[in-house]
Amino acid sequence: MEVVVASSLLIVAIVPILKALTAMHLNSTLIERKTKSLLLAQSKLDDIKARTIYGYASSYNQSDTVLETSYLCNVTDTGSGSDIRTMTVSVGFDTDGDNGLDADEIEITLTTYIANRWTS
């Protein structure tokens, strides 16, 4: 009888612990994806900034560019032709595997202004 009572108390105590562990694992995965997306977005912006030094007139628009396994990137370049342009980089994890970055898959969006450093 004591073994049955002890076993049922253990089961009652273990269920919430397992639920908490599962929730912590899911949150950890989400944080890992957001952190990775942030690093990739910053890297992409740095790459664009470096390329605009000598290629300011080029368009940097990109859609569904693979940055790393299952991480995709969209770049929106507005204001081309002027001395200041706005670059928006959106990065996320392709959860559905369709090689397209849907709105619900975007983890991080970074926006910056880039000025023309060389005048003609």
The candidate with the shortest Cα–Cα distance to 86, out of 49, 118, 119, 53, is 49
pLDDT at 53: 84
Q: Could you read off the pLDDT of 38-81 as tens digits, one per residue?
A: 999 999 999 999 988 888 888 899 999 999 889 999 999 987 56
Whether the predicted pLDDT of 120 surpasses 60:
no
**Residue 95 in 3-state DSSP?**
coil
Q: Is residue 91 part of a domain?
A: yes
Average pLDDT, the chain: 90
Question: What CATH number should be reported for the domain holding residue 27?
Answer: 3.30.1300
Domain count, the chain: 1
User: Where does the chain have alpha helices with state H?
Assistant: 2-52
Q: Could you read off the pLDDT of 98-112 as tens digits, one per residue?
A: 989 988 999 999 999
Q: Is residue 93 part of a domain?
A: yes
Q: Is residue 120 part of a domain?
A: no
Domain ranges, residue 48:
2-115
Q: Which amino acid is at 42?
A: Q
Confidence of residue 88 (pLDDT cuts 50, 70, 90): very high
Residue 113's H or E segment, with its range, is strand 106-115
Give the other-Cβ count within 10 Å of 53's Cβ: 11
- Rounded distance between C-alpha atoms, residue 110 and residue 118, angstroms: 24
pLDDT at 90: 96
Q: Is residue 54 part of a domain?
A: yes
Query: Beta partners for 74?
Result: 90
pLDDT at 81: 60
